[in-house]
Structure 1
């Protein structure tokens, strides 16, 4: 099997190494807007590099992995579909909601599978929480708490094109809230502020945010995010039900210090990045995409799924700016595929 990767930055190189390690993948081909970047990563991993994306799509691919900047996702997904190549694209679906809506419509009209990359769906803890909900192990779920705390903010250049904290960071929480609960959002309310790097505020963004969703089944969900959690990368979820509770990320890597006397938990060490935290999940995610390429299963996370997480982010940003509860019905949507 021959898999192409568009984008040879940090996540593209990470995916290239993962795909190289999969027994069913024979060849990995890299391309980047900066050909020297693709050549460098290909040289380090002993892979093939081509000069540009056009050459990549002409390279006899069985599958395409898009790890290029968000602003390129729309065009790259369309190019993969037009070439008839099963396509994996890192979140979010597109930089603009209008483009994500159009891509969701495209997905309904094509037989080419599209897989949107939300790796938490493949994390052992989140999968266990999802199964607990499906099996009724927790009774009825009434409260969910989701948290993503990054160790440090990205560079200014990234912030300018990130789409903001909710669209870039919290969107992972938004997708996994839908995945674990199996329910959609009815209303959203969010707040945020910037107390750190001036360039974040200068871009109209925030470095810390929090909010509340009420789901269609009346579950109350809180979420929080920050760019400043120097003690470690802290990603967690709590799911509370009428007969049980379960937590994701509650282990010795937890980036907290207990204030209780004599308590040694968590023992540490903490993890420093999302790639450290989710390495096994990324490996499962790309192994699953290979199954999609081989026609062994449908996409486990469609453009429609990615659109719903993006709509949640749009609602939160609108709520933050206007200081009000936002019904999700206000955010444009498409009908799910039958």
Structure 2
């Protein structure tokens, strides 16, 4: 246990999960949510203190703050919370547009506080191994990368309305993992997508299914696939193809696929139900890393600058989908 007092602003699905982790690791947990009943429910479950959002943002006893509110509130709250002068953990994305992200970054830098952005795949053992093995030359020169994030079922309409769409909400994790694992930047994207004629997506100019082709520095090619309707289960993978070998992230015993090859029984366990189940260990390691930042023991593992780089890729994808053309990220 860190002995630190940590504030948690946002007690929805991901905030409740963070509360369960922080309650075991922080000296004291304080919870706030615009819906006070949510804050009380989470606080009672984990023995935490309840404050109003306004009270949280005026607190003088916090050592760190976790922002787990809806996506479209992150940037504004981050600018307000910077005045507390404590390290902040902010769920991705920091904002849905470049200018708001820049303002949040400027506020954090002016307050001289570290901000850790929630890209939890950086704490997954397989993604970390892929990064290390590529850097050590174990698969030779990188030629192609193939990624996919496939949700078993779409989130509620109210979430989709504020999420920023499939590129900023879902594939932004793949974009961050791509940059982090390979050390390369995305130069250009080409996107195909469809809303399948469904109002929950068409009303927000969002895609329910998307395929992205990305050209990286040095000419390496990558693809990213995303779906809101992968009924077999939650499926996240990353393949790195090199001149000496191929490494795959996500090919575990709960991969939601069925092999039709004779004599092959794979996988052998129930598929992943959702992202919280798939990345449960990563979320815990991610908050451990944040508590290390709070204690001054480690640097920030994923910065607002990282979030901005991935957001630019997501915005380029949206432009490509709307305009039906390749789009340079710059």
TM-score, normalised by the number of residues in structure 1: 0.94
The Cα RMSD (Å) is 1.3
Alpha-carbon separation, structure 2, partners of 1:106 and 1:51? 23
CA-CA distance at 1:321 after TM superposition: 0.6
Kept in 2, the 8 Å contact 1:31–1:56? The answer is no
What residue number does 1:174 align with? 175
Deviations 1:257-314 (A, max 9, x none): 1111211011121110100000000000000000001111111100000001100000
Kept in 2, the 8 Å contact 1:148–1:235? The answer is yes
Alpha-carbon separation, structure 2, partners of 1:56 and 1:17? 21
Kept in 2, the 8 Å contact 1:107–1:303? The answer is no
What residue number does 2:17 align with? 14
Alpha-carbon separation, structure 2, partners of 1:146 and 1:161? 25
Secondary structure in 2 aligned to 1:223?
A: strand
Deviations 1:96-153 (A, max 9, x none): 2220122234444442100000000001110110111111111111100010000001
Trace 1:35-46 onto structure 2 (pairs within 5 A): 35-46=36-47
Aligned residues: 327
What residue number does 1:209 align with? 210
Q: Does 1:158 align with 2:159?
A: yes
Kept in 2, the 8 Å contact 1:150–1:229? The answer is yes
Kept in 2, the 8 Å contact 1:6–1:53? The answer is no
Kept in 2, the 8 Å contact 1:196–1:207? The answer is no
Alpha-carbon separation, structure 1, partners of 2:60 and 2:34? 16
Kept in 1, the 8 Å contact 2:94–2:117? The answer is yes
What residue number does 1:290 align with? 291
Kept in 2, the 8 Å contact 1:35–1:52? The answer is no
What residue number does 1:100 align with? 101
Secondary structure in 2 aligned to 1:175?
A: helix
Alpha-carbon separation, structure 1, partners of 2:151 and 2:173? 12
Alpha-carbon separation, structure 2, partners of 1:168 and 1:45? 28
Alpha-carbon separation, structure 1, partners of 2:105 and 2:135? 27
Kept in 1, the 8 Å contact 2:9–2:33? The answer is yes
Deviations 1:24-71 (A, max 9, x none): x11110000111210111012221111224335415100000000112
Kept in 1, the 8 Å contact 2:9–2:56? The answer is no
Secondary structure in 1 aligned to 2:268?
A: coil
Alpha-carbon separation, structure 2, partners of 1:129 and 1:165? 25
Residues 99/56 of structure 1: CA separation in 2 closer, same or farther (3 Å cut): closer
What residue number does 1:272 align with? 273
Trace 1:42-81 onto structure 2 (pairs within 5 A): 42-81=43-82
